Amino acid sequence: MRLICGLLSLANRLIFGLTISCLDCYEHLVKSLFFYLFFDCVMMERWDWNLQLGGPSWTVGLGRRDSTSASRSVGNTSIPTPTSKLSALVSSFSAQGLSLKDMVALLGSHTIGLARCTTFRGRIYNDSNIDASFAESLQNRCPTSGNDNKLARLDAATSTLFDNCYYRNLLSGKGLLHSD
CA 125 to chain centre: 25
The whole-angstrom separation of Cα 102 and Cα 80 is 14
Buried b (16+ CB within 10 A) or exposed e, 126-148: eeeebeeebbeebeeebeeeeee
Known binding residue 131? Answer is: no
Do the annotations mark residue 110 as ligand-binding? Answer: yes
Q: What is the CA radius of gyration of the chain?
A: 21
Instruction: Check whether 48 is labelled as a binding-site residue.
Output: no
158 is in an annotated binding site: yes
> 119: annotated binding-site residue?
no
Question: Is 82 among the annotated ligand-binding positions?
Answer: no
Whole-number Å distance between alpha carbons of 101 and 106: 9
Using DSSP's 3-state secondary structure scheme, residue 169 falls into: helix
φ, ψ for residue 99 (rounded to 5)? -85, 175
* Residue count (the chain): 180
Nearest to 80 by CA among 96, 57, 58, 101: 96
> Residue 57: what residue type?
S
Q: What residue numbers does the annotated binding site for heme b cover?
A: 110
Residue ranges of the binding site for Ca(2+): 111, 155, 158, 163
Annotated binding residues for substrate, written as ranges, equal 80
Could you list the residues known to form a binding site, using ranges: 80, 110-111, 155, 158, 163
